Amino acid sequence: MPHAERAKYDYDLFVIGTGPGGEGAAMQVAKGGWRVGVAERYRQIGGGCTHWGTIPSKALRYAVTSTMKALSNPVMRELGFTVSPTMEQLRRGTQAIIGRQVTMRQSFYDRNNVPIHRGQARFLDEHTVSIDNGEPITAAHFVISTGSRPYRPSDVDFTHRRIFDSDTILDMEDKPTTITVYGAGVVGTEYASMFRNLGIKVNLVNTREKLLEFLDDEIIDALSYHLRDQGVIIRHNETMDRIEGRDDGVVLHLKSGKVLKSDVFLWANGRQGNTDDLGLQHLPIEADRRGQIQVDEQFQTCLPHIYAVGDVIGIPSLASAAYTQGRAAGMHMLGHTSGNLRLNDIPAGIYTSPEISSVGSTERELTEQCVPYEVGHSQFRSLARAQITGETVGMLKLLFHRETKRLLGVHCFGANASEIVHIGQAIMNQPDEHNTVEYFIETTFNYPTMAEAYRVAALNGINRLF
């Protein structure tokens, strides 16, 4: 849009939502010299990532794993430490972390002269919004980055004090003895793992045949085995019939006829895009039944000047992906259409205990594509660093082309998986002849480290060739 035409509007770009996607778009375009404004309906910026999802859940996970690891240390036991931390104690540091995140992110908007309009933004027409039905605000371009919330079916009573979703579970006051988690996607498996680490008995009900079917089959098997080894009861191919909230617990009735009772119940089956109060009825843009907006490869809706990024457009529903999508949308507005910011190279990070992370192709995909590949493994139990820390559960798996030795996939299950995967990610994206497993064989890794698993796995795989 020519500068003279943009000048007719209050802003060159107006962003709805200050989560990772909105922040990425706003900062990218503001640094490009455009006039940018944002709207945020919550009392603080940061979106669901900062306040209900990624940050608080990962902070709680760290508190749980570090506390229970310390309490299980033989030295601590010898000193007589046998305490059982409360949920309030485990959550205590979370608000401080959220506060630091909010302060840091507020400084981004302040330094780049991006004003924040507080309240619910609603479209009045294709170039106009109002904040809480106030004065109209016009913009040449818009980015919808309103995020998502847990999907809540109408026949589940979420007002019951023992029935939670992934937003409200973080405020649970008392530590239960048993919990049923319905939905075994990323959120469900993460919480099942976390609660089991607290010594809580867990029923994990999966509506599909396998856990996390998008992962490599060997990683799925490892996760399933480890959860069961910890004591999690996993039930596959099950569907809810009804949920009965009682004074002394929650009873889940399954269509298979099974009945499960636990102290509390966590609904973790799907997300809903936050589009129901955006005024989309005034636009040709339509959200699907889960509130998600369809976009093209440049994150444009059916109206080219209105973009959508992050959870509101669906998968992969990752904070990291949302930020990159927001930046990509901003670059497209600025005319930088050649750089795709490696949008198809986003690693999965799943914060179970231990972690899972992957990037690239799975064995299943390579087999279906008839790609001649080979596998290299490194079991963490053989790494000196893992033996020192006691975190010996897990493995690193490399998939590479038998002929060119090009790295095709990296899959990791174990301590620091979400960090380790980036080494492989970097090599996968090097030019041809520099993106092979031979890099790991020819490179010296610090010893002892978890990253050394790359050398072990590469040697293991190369030795299979003939």
- Residues belonging to the binding site for NAD(+) are 183-190, 270
| Closest by CA position to 252, among listed 322, 188, 307, 181 | 181
Q: Helix, strand, or coil here: 264?
A: strand
Asked whether the beta carbons of 61 and 195 are under 8 A apart, the reply is no
Q: Nearest 5°: CA angle at 10, between 121 and 295?
A: 55
- DSSP conformation letters of 42-105: SSSSSHHHHHTSHHHHHHHHHHHHHHHHHHTSHHHHHTT------HHHHHTTHHHHHHHHHHHH
Cα(290)–Cα(435) distance, integer angstroms: 40
Cα(55)–Cα(334) distance, integer angstroms: 31
Residues annotated in the binding site for FAD, as ranges? 58, 146-148, 311
Q: Helix, strand, or coil here: 379?
A: strand
Residue 427: both structure tokens together: 């090599």
Residue 137: both structure tokens together: 């605000």
Q: Which residues of 352-369 are buried (b: 16+ CB within 10 A; e: fewer)?
A: bbbbbbbbbbbbeebeee
Give me the residues paired with residue 358 across strands: 348, 411
Cα(420)–Cα(376) distance, integer angstroms: 15
- Looking at residue 169, the DSSP 8-state letter turns out to be G
Q: Helix, strand, or coil here: 155?
A: coil
CB proximity list for 22: less than 8 A, separation 6 or greater: 15, 16, 38, 47, 143, 145, 309, 310, 326
Residues annotated in the binding site, as ranges? 58, 146-148, 183-190, 270, 311
Residue 109: both structure tokens together: 């908007």
Cα(17)–Cα(48) distance, integer angstroms: 10
Give me the residues paired with residue 215 across strands: none
Cα(22)–Cα(144) distance, integer angstroms: 7
